């Protein structure tokens, strides 16, 4: 089966959040299962630097490929690399005007850039003579791909058998633009219609992906249910309900080869489930590096996240000083909204030696934190899947979460009687609930050592690998082909 996975982010070439992790890991697992999968992404400015950092070569393979449909036309060059430690090909699409930006989402007019990229992909498939059985599109940036296939390309023999799977990684970002973008996209005007792309007087790319693909999925079973309700549906709940028979939830995994505490070169000391004392060596080295007091008796509570409203930071801000009344240290790594950046920087100044706040994107420090801390906090308002809890569990760091979306599907409350469960959490979105849950984790960590060891073992044994989920994607690809 030929599969084209199309994404704006692919780890390690360009990453902002979880989308990159998924695009960088799922294809490797699919390839192992015999699927002929190729990746297609924009060649963002940052790609060259990251490729170099990972020792990955990039070669130009095509020049001057025509971009169909888009108003004014255009041409792209195509570069090729591969995912680390695999033979999965990554095709990168470039044009001097549309892809002159350094970061993934830096374009002034990202709507036009996304349209141009989506159109270019079709030209590139033909130029490579790569006939996909399934195009797997991801998030709003590629939401128009299924729309073109069902409209402008409907009678094109090259794509006659091409089915589509559309994955929603985060419903909070839908790609909503004024109706003129439809003209730029070269799509039929009748799509400006409530049963198609129209959305409160504008057009919505994600709505296109949802309505025009053969199969829709999101990244956890709980989120797939939640988004059909007004609380989580971000005004698309009605549209999602229309597709509910074709709407699936497939949990993400993480790359178990790359993220393995026994071999990860980024952490201070390697360890596994049988020598957890070495995990604590990571803790003391991390404390030194972050200028925290080197104390093994204080649980180190960490958080690594984009600092945006979705992540439940308002709850944490509410109880930050109460948190510090517990016998803990706190470390934060993240960038985002200045209101959060400023608050936590000021907070760290008030707790020297006990709180470390790092406002930057730093993949290496992230791994050191996953390895070196005791408790990992994710109190999200909503969380399509969440990867942080999976990384932390893999490194024996116990998650404290709000039970929503993928967090509810992967973290289970520890039961000291049955010795089951891999973390702690709360349901009601309230700061007092967050504090209670954290206090419970701190209690087990400091006072119930045998239980804590058991929780760590349970967490490290939780299967968050891609193999399980890749199998489910393969099923979705087959369902999509049947429906085509």
Strand 247-249, strand 300-304: pairing: unpaired
Nearer to ligand ADP, 146 or 334 (CB): 334
Please give the Cα distance from 316 to 309 (Å, whole number): 11
Region binding ligand ADP by CB under 6 A among candidate stretches 43-51, 209-217, 238-246, 379-387: 379-387
Question: By CB under 6 A, is residue 366 in contact with ligand ADP?
Answer: yes
With beta carbons less than 8 A apart as the criterion, state whether 3 and 134 touch. yes
Per DSSP, helices labelled H in 168-312 are 180-185, 205-212, 221-226, 237-242, 277-289
- # residues contacting ligand ADP (CB under 6 A): 18
Q: Print the binding letters for residues 248-287 with ligand ADP: x by CB under 6 A, - otherwise.
A: ----------------------------------------
- Of 226, 275, 276, nearest in space to 249 by CA: 226
**Which of 27, 111, 253, 334 is in the footprint of ligand ADP by CB under 6 A?**
334
**Which of 137, 247, 286, 304 is in the footprint of ligand ADP by CB under 6 A?**
304
**Which of 82, 306, 430, 448 is in the footprint of ligand ADP by CB under 6 A?**
306
**Which of 256, 361, 412, 429 is in the footprint of ligand ADP by CB under 6 A?**
361
**Which of 58, 61, 324, 363 is in the footprint of ligand ADP by CB under 6 A?**
363
Region binding ligand ADP by CB under 6 A among candidate stretches 17-25, 29-37, 267-275, 284-292: 17-25
**Which of 146, 386, 421, 423 is in the footprint of ligand ADP by CB under 6 A?**
386
Please give the Cα distance from 446 to 328 (Å, whole number): 10
The pair of three-digit structure tokens given for residue 7, joined into one six-digit string = 């994404």
Please give the Cα distance from 482 to 423 (Å, whole number): 40
Nearer to ligand ADP, 244 or 345 (CB): 345
Please give the Cα distance from 11 to 445 (Å, whole number): 34
Which residues, 6 or more positions from 447, have their beta carbon under 8 angstroms from its beta carbon?
A: none
Please give the Cα distance from 293 to 280 (Å, whole number): 14
Minimal distance, residue 17 CB to ligand ADP, in Å: 3
**Which of 68, 388, 399, 423 is in the footprint of ligand ADP by CB under 6 A?**
388
With beta carbons less than 8 A apart as the criterion, state whether 431 and 319 touch. yes
Minimal distance, residue 310 CB to ligand ADP, in Å: 7
- Of 248, 252, 289, 249, nearest in space to 268 by CA: 289
**Which of 5, 6, 13, 18 is in the footprint of ligand ADP by CB under 6 A?**
18
Minimal distance, residue 420 CB to ligand ADP, in Å: 24
**Which of 9, 21, 77, 255 is in the footprint of ligand ADP by CB under 6 A?**
21
Angle at 423 between CA 324 and CA 326, to 5 degrees: 15
Place of tokens 């419970």: 440
Question: By CB under 6 A, is residue 405 in contact with ligand ADP?
Answer: no
**Which of 335, 446, 478, 484 is in the footprint of ligand ADP by CB under 6 A?**
335
Q: Is 28 exposed, middle or buried (0-12, 13-18, 19+ CB in 10 A)?
A: buried
Region binding ligand ADP by CB under 6 A among candidate stretches 28-36, 303-311, 341-349, 393-401: 303-311
- Residues forming the site for ligand ADP (CB under 6 A): 17-18, 21, 304-306, 333-335, 361-363, 366, 385-388, 391
């Amino acid at each position: 089966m030929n599969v084209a996975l199309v994404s704006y982010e692919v780890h390690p070439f360009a990453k902002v959040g979880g989308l990159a992790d998924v695009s960088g890991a799922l294809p490797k697992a699919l390839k192992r299962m015999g699927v002929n999968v190729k990746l297609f992404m924009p060649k963002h400015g940052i790609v060259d630097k990251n490729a170099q950092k990972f020792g990955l070569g990039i070669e130009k393979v095509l020049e001057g490929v025509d971009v169909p449909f888009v108003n004014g036309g255009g041409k792209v060059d195509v570069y090729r690399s591969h995912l680390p430690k695999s033979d999965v090909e990554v095709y990168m699409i470039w044009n001097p005007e549309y892809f002159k930006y350094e970061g993934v989402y830096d374009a002034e007019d990202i709507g036009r850039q996304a349209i141009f990229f989506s159109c270019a992909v079709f030209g590139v498939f033909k130029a490579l003579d790569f006939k996909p059985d399934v195009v797997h599109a991801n998030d709003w940036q590629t939401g128009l791909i299924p729309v073109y296939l069902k409209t402008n390309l409907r009678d094109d023999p090259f794509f006659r058998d091409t089915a589509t799977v559309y994955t929603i990684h985060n419903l909070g970002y839908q790609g909503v633009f004024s109706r003129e973008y439809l003209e730029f996209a070269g799509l039929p005007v009748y799509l400006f219609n409530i049963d198609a792309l129209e959305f409160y007087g504008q057009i919505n790319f994600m709505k296109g992906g949802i309505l025009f693909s053969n199969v829709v999925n999101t990244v956890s079973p709980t989120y797939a249910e939640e988004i059909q309700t007004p609380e989580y549906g971000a005004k698309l709940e009605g549209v999602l309900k229309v597709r509910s028979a074709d709407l699936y939830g497939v949990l993400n995994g993480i790359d178990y080869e790359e993220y393995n505490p026994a071999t990860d070169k980024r952490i201070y000391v390697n360890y596994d489930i049988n020598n957890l004392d070495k995990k604590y060596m990571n803790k003391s080295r991390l404390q030194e590096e972050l200028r925290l007091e080197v104390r093994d008796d204080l649980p180190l509570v960490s958080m690594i996240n984009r600092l945006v409203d979705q992540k439940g930071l308002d709850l944490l801000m509410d109880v930050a000083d109460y948190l510090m009344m517990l016998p803990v240290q706190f470390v934060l790594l993240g960038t985002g909204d200045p209101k959060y950046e400023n608050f936590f920087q000021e907070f760290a100044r008030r707790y020297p030696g006990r709180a470390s706040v790092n406002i930057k994107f730093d993949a290496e420090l992230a791994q050191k934190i996953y390895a070196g801390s005791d408790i990992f906090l994710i109190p999200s308002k909503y969380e399509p899947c969440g990867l942080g809890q999976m990384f932390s569990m893999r490194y024996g760091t116990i998650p404290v979460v709000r039970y929503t979306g993928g967090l509810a599907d992967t973290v289970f409350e520890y039961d000291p009687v049955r010795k089951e469960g891999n973390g702690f959490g709360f349901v009601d979105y309230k700061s007092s609930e967050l504090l209670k849950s954290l206090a419970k984790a701190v209690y087990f960590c400091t006072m119930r050592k045998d239980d804590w060891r058991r929780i760590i073992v349970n967490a490290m044994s939780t299967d968050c690998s891609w193999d399980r989920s890749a199998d489910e994607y393969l099923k979705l690809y087959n369902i999509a082909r049947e429906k085509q």
